[in-house]
Amino acid sequence: MTDIPGIILAGGLSRRMGGGDKGLLQLGEKSLIQRVIDKISPQVSSLAININGDSSRFPNYELPIIPDSMKGYLGPLSGILAGMEWAFKNEYKYIATVAADTPFLPDNFINRLHAMVRDKKLNIGIAASRIMNSDNIFRHPTFGIWEVDLKDDLRKGLANDTRKIMSWAKKFKCDYCFFDIDNEMTDPFFNINTPDDLEKAKYRLEKGIL
């Protein structure tokens, strides 16, 4: 476990899923967000959920709820900012972020990213999947470790219409931590955007491709 709090980003509009909170969808006997909580809790010092809107939608998880601190649906960067500002008040140096719709996360995700950030003296570390013996790389910018002191710059970026994570992150010392996979089906950062993705996740769960 690292001395880094985890922030589950659950503020998306879920347009491709037809709206609502993807994290509350059921996968087997648990919701998606409960599966994320189960995966991440052992890896972090504390855990909170970032949302956009009414916090009563997440009554059953007994975790701090962090609303976006800027108005409007500004995307995942807004959730990262809210997490940074919450962590700053609690005197943390970094936060780790994950998406609420990714039930198959690696058990060593946070430790590996933190080790890379520490060893390379980075401001930001981002997860990426790499199919072995190929040039296929899948970058996952919502899965990262972020230096909390970047919060003021991020707030300015959002105010100036920056929305893409890497458009902002590339200004700083940032690198990717690669997780090798056999194929796309085994990607631990697979996220559920559409009803078809949910069916794929059910197949993975049934086949034990975790």
In the chain the domains, ranked by start, together with CATH numbers, are 5-207 (3.90.550.10)
- Residues sharing a CB contact under 8 Å with residue 169, sequence separation 6 or more, in sequence order: 124, 126, 141, 144
AA identity, residue 96: A
What pLDDT is attached to residue 18? 46
Kindly compute the dihedral angle of the four CA atoms of residues 54, 167, 153, 95, in this order, to the nearest 10 degrees. 60
Which helix (H) or strand (E) segment holds residue 157: the answer is helix 151-159
10-residue averages of pLDDT along the chain (210 residues): 91 54 89 96 96 75 90 90 96 97 95 97 98 93 98 97 96 97 93 92 90
pTM beyond 0.75: the answer is: yes
